[in-house]
Structure 1
């Protein structure tokens, strides 16, 4: 016996649940839906510098996709002194903190800065970062827009 799930349009079976709970299926995912998900193969396409997808271009193995815009701006500014403003939810000691140092590198989810006076290095998570300032002009390469777009 199947019944329609609200909002999803997928049938829900009363029996045959997978044992991995999720928010939508707290007791597991119906096997029918699990099979549907396993049969679908994601089709990824490369991204332009703006983060937009290039339609119809397949990904080749080992090809790096640009997935973050801020990390690329930070990488263009390695060696500059920056100030990183971060907040930390539910922290009883400090809710917000300011880190200042030389930008060593940045990744999709982190920034590494070093304090030139102490030699101490900080690995800062992007998820806690509110904004970043620099005392000097930042290097920035604007994304190329598709032809005809201004």
Structure 2
């Protein structure tokens, strides 16, 4: 399966998994670049029952798309599919892979 940029342009196979250019540094691309790195991921839900409107997941990114992220919880391998609209932020335990081009 060929990977695509957010604008729908195919990524050449020799560049798949490489660092992303600045104009494509969307959250899902940054999460994708850091698949498998342990971290804590925070989500909040506006219309949830009182007291349960936030969720923190300690795990790793398995996949990320434009509108979702799939996380695997470290303690029990439970998997979550979260819509990105609920994503607040993430804390990683190690250095992140991220690339920006210099002008």
TM-score by length of 2: 0.70
Q: Looking at both structures, which has the greater relative contact order when contacts are Cα pairs under 8 Å and sequence separation is at least 6?
A: 2
* Residue among 39, 50, 56 paired with 1:98: 56
Correspondence for 1:81: 38
**Aligned positions, number:** 85
Residue 70 of structure 1 aligns with which residue?
A: 27
What is aligned with 2:17?
Answer: none
1:50 aligns with 2:34: no
Q: Does 1:115 align with 2:73?
A: yes
Q: CA RMSD in A?
A: 2.2
With normalisation by structure 1, the TM-score equals 0.50
Structure with greater strand share of residues: 2
Please state how far the C-alpha of 1:115 moved relative to its aligned partner.
1.8
Structure 1's unaligned 5+ residue stretches are 1-43, 52-65
CA contact (8 A) 2:44 2:87 kept: yes
Cα distance in structure 1, aligned partners of 2:61 and 2:96:
12
Question: Which has the higher Rg, Structure 1 or Structure 2?
Answer: 1
Long gaps (5+) in structure 2: 1-6, 10-19
